[in-house]
């Protein structure tokens, strides 16, 4: 496969691409810059990609942050990076996915969607309260599950299919922004009990490559296969409202 690693850090992205080329012998692995915290960057990436790359069969929306803060576009950082940026990217690349069908979109979600509380009238604004950053993260993960569900509905008959994935609890740098009081508890737990990155990638790769998943488009997957998401993740009315609100927020 020809693989484009679309990442925010040029240094880390180039290093990852170089390591993959070296370990696999596949020279068709390239880095391109993409910062999901900037809708301007998302549009620039999509424009460059569509100009340079004639084929797109698989889009994996994998980036995620758990930090608080606000983006240059005025949205909460977790909600934009984890959902809005991916939503805009997918929409900008959707016609190419259709023209190269059968094709797939895999959205990395989380079981944290169980605590998500999306309110269409306040999308993109950080929630209030003592645990607002954690709530913001959970809201963005619910948005991931609903994004996959609504995209699958809208793409019926196009041979573009979509899957939301909970990769498990994975020991990555996702928790580097955790509050200082929480890190002494969280970090040893992560080292002892969490999956490493290669293990966490497995269910994502399964949804990307496994034959016969097309009838399960829109479903939520864990390492045990397709699972029912929590009730909010099955709310079709909320999925439509999220889609329409996201279009408005990103200017589509």
- Active-site residue list: 137
Q: Concatenated DSSP letters for 96-113?
A: HHHHT-SEEEEEE--GGG
* 67 vs 222: CA distance, rounded Å: 24
Place of tokens 């693989």: 3
Contacts of 96 (CB under 8 A, 6+ apart): 50, 55, 56
Q: Across the strands, what pairs with 70? A: 76
Instruction: Find, among 91, 71, 90, the residue nearest to 81 by Cα.
Output: 71
* 231 vs 9: CA distance, rounded Å: 36
Q: What angle do CA 115, 120, 121 make, to 5 degrees?
A: 120
Contact (CB, 8 A) for 138 and 144: no
């Amino acid at each position: 496969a020809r693989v484009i690693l679309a990442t925010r850090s040029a240094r880390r992205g180039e290093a990852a691409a170089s390591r993959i080329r070296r370990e696999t012998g596949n020279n068709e692995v390239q880095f391109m810059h993409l910062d999901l915290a900037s809708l301007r960057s998302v549009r620039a990436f999509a424009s460059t990609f569509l100009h340079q790359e004639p084929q797109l069969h698989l889009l994996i929306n994998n980036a995620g942050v758990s930090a608080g803060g606000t983006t240059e576009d005025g949205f909460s950082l977790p909600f934009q990076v984890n959902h809005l940026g991916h939503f805009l990217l997918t929409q900008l690349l959707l016609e190419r996915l259709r023209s190269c069908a059968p094709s797939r979109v895999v959205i990395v979600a989380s079981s944290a969607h169980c605590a998500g509380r999306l309110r269409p009238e306040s999308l993109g604004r950080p929630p209030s309260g003592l645990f607002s950053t954690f709530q913001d993260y959970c809201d963005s993960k619910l948005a991931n599950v609903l994004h996959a569900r609504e995209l699958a509905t809208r793409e019926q008959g196009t041979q573009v299919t979509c899957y939301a994935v909970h990769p498990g609890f994975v020991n990555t740098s996702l928790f580097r922004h955790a509050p200082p009081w929480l890190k002494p508890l969280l970090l040893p737990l992560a080292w002892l009990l969490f999956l490493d990155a290669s293990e966490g990638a497995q269910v994502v790769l399964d949804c990307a490559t496994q034959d016969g998943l097309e009838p399960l488009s829109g479903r939520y997957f864990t390492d045990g296969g397709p699972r029912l998401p929590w009730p909010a993740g099955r709310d079709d009315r909320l999925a439509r409202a999220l889609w329409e609100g996201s279009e408005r927020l990103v200017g589509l």
